[in-house]
Structure 1
Amino acid sequence: MFAWLSIVTALATIALKVGAWWLTGSVGLLSDAAESVVNLVAAVVALFALRVAARPADDDHNFGHAKAEYFSAGVEGAMIFVAAVVIIYAAVERIIHPRDLESLGLGVGISVLASVLNGVVAVVLLRAGRRYRSITLTADGRHLMTDVVTTAGVVAGIILVGITHWYWLDPIIAIAVAINILFVGYRLIKESTSGLMDIAMPDEEVGSIGRVLDGFRSPEVEFHDVRTRVGGHLRFLQLHMLVPGEWSVQRGHDLVEDVEERLREAVDDLIITVHLEPIEDPRSYESWRR
């Protein structure tokens, strides 16, 4: 549903912003429209990525398909770079061949309407991204919110052009827009790459895990070699639990079940692997960080 909302919004804002550019001839408004085209491509990719990510684990993907979301964020970041190049090219051409702007009032009004639409949808997507811990929805929401800020800057600049008749300011505004969205693209690609490289869980979630484990620690029970990673909305935890070697398998298993239950209460969508070891054996304290 959220991906379709993003697609419909992108189509509407493209129509509005292209109309504003056609009326005014402003390359600044053209740059704003180009960013909305990127939003549309990103929304289509997001729809595909979310469908893939929602698929359950299978024989070929034993840990599910959640990482498909990272490809969406990466594609969106790459598209932003392409849009920035197009914007800069158009801006430089306008600097070389300046021209007057027309119907600024109507063009600005249309752009403001498109910006309000983007802002409302951006808030919806960001809230959904936090709720479902979806990098795709979060990336889409951030991009739309960036689009709102971009439009605000462009509109302010166009108004200034109309007041001062400094027409050279129009392409300068477009270049500023391009530089701004380049930073957004860089952040999206960095976040996508980090996810594909199995980045550790956020500090807040790691802290929650630590507090749960501390509650089970005793002279007979210890934990070590704790590893975490993020895969889309899924969280993966691997750890070693040390207990007396004289314990029965049943007793050790029961404790593992209790620990896992508390961990899943502390962190949503957590997949846990626990390796049970005898606390008296020196080999049990060997770490993967060697």
Structure 2
Amino acid sequence: MKAQDARSLGLARWSVAVGLGVFGIKWLAWELTGSVAIYSDALESIVNIVAAVGALVALAVAVRPADATHPFGHTKAEYFSAVAEGALILFAAFEMLRAAWGRFLHPQPFTEPALGLGLVALAGGITAGWAFLLLAQGRRVRSPALVADAQHLLTDVASTVGVLFGASLAWQLGWWWLDPLVAAGVALNILVVGLRLVRRSVGGLMDEALPPDQVARIQRTIEKNLDGALEYHDLRTRASGPRAFVEFHLVVPATMTVEEAHAITDRLERALEEALPGAETVIHVEPESEAKHGGWRA
């Protein structure tokens, strides 16, 4: 197993442990206060745990090497984790809205508000610290599953801050109807995040092209290293988990030998690997009779 893959799996295991700890703290805070806003925040932590477990399973599958039935590897398994997380977020959002409506119809004061809100603040601080660490490491190892988990955790932190503010205001002013309104706000916020997460993950499963900035970097790299060739065209890109795939047609002079054309493709592949670490490049060499009017010419 590569060091990068081992690091990803280690981070995923820690996410499960952190999620369980944070959920326990928030659940205790809900038991102490009876706040439906804190209940909503605790529900989101359950989603964090399930998502972390899903990411761990997906990463364990994704690191398996290519085989006869999966010649391109198993990296797309990570997208299934991200899709599942998005679906869980949507489910939690609707449950939060249901609970908030019931409490809006029948408001009630908090019990042990100071201790409960202090516990929520502690849980939020732990989540924030882990989310930023996970986001940085997830981007470093180019793992969609870890990045998705970190982004959801950051949403959880924002929700926790809103819950603390709204619940504190309700407690200090006695506006108990504010508690379910805050819960509804949390639900709507994560509803939007869940929809975005599902959309991005489905895009990966559907072989969506790489982001425009990466495509532009690929184009610049090819154009800079095209010496000896005539043009390139039909550039196509896609991502599969942490791996990027690049494919294009390279037009060379009709008099060029196979060895000379091979040397150019080697140079281009090395340059693209440096520009986009982990990228797998496929270059289809063509004679100049196949040149296209819309191709980029050297």
TM class by smaller structure: over 0.9
What do you get for the CA RMSD once the two structures are aligned? 1.5
Q: Cα deviation per residue 1:216-259 (whole Å; 9 max; x = unaligned)?
A: 34585211111111111100011111111111111111111111
1:139 is paired with a residue of what secondary structure?
Answer: helix
Q: Does 1:235 align with 2:209?
A: no
Pairing of 1:48-197 with structure 2 (within 5 A): 48-197=57-206
Q: What CA distance in whole angstroms lies between the structure 2 residues aligned with 1:32 and 1:219? A: 60
2:4 corresponding residue in structure 1: none
Cα-to-partner distance string for 1:26-67 (whole Å, 9 max, x where unaligned):
001000000000000000000001111111111111111111
Shift of 1:68: 0.8
Aligned equivalents of 2:82, 2:225: Cα separation in 1: 39
- Cα distance in 2 for partners of 1:266, 1:248 equals 27
Report whether the alignment pairs 1:270 with 2:279. yes
Q: Percent identity?
A: 44
Counterpart position of 1:285: 292
Structure 1, unmatched stretches of 5+, are none
Q: Is the 8 A contact 2:93 2:190 kept in 1?
A: yes
Q: Tell me how far apart the structure 2 counterparts of residues 220 and 243 of structure 1 sit (CA, whole Å).
A: 5
1:141-191 CA-partner distances (Å, limit 9, x unpaired):
111111111111001111101111011111111000000000110111011
Pair 1:23-2:32 in alignment: yes
> How many Å separate the matches in 1 of 2:229 and 2:79?
41
Hey, what does 1:33 align to over in structure 2?
42
Runs of at least 4 residues of structure 1 off by over 3 A?
216-220
- Using structure 1 for the length normalisation, give the TM-score: 0.95
Instruction: Tell me whether 1:259 sits opposite 2:268 in the alignment.
Output: yes
Give the Cα separation in 2 of the matches to 1:46 and 1:59.
25
Letter of the 1:112 counterpart: A
Distance 2:106 2:285 in 1: 73
Paired position in structure 1 for 2:210: 201
TM-score, normalised with respect to structure 2: 0.93
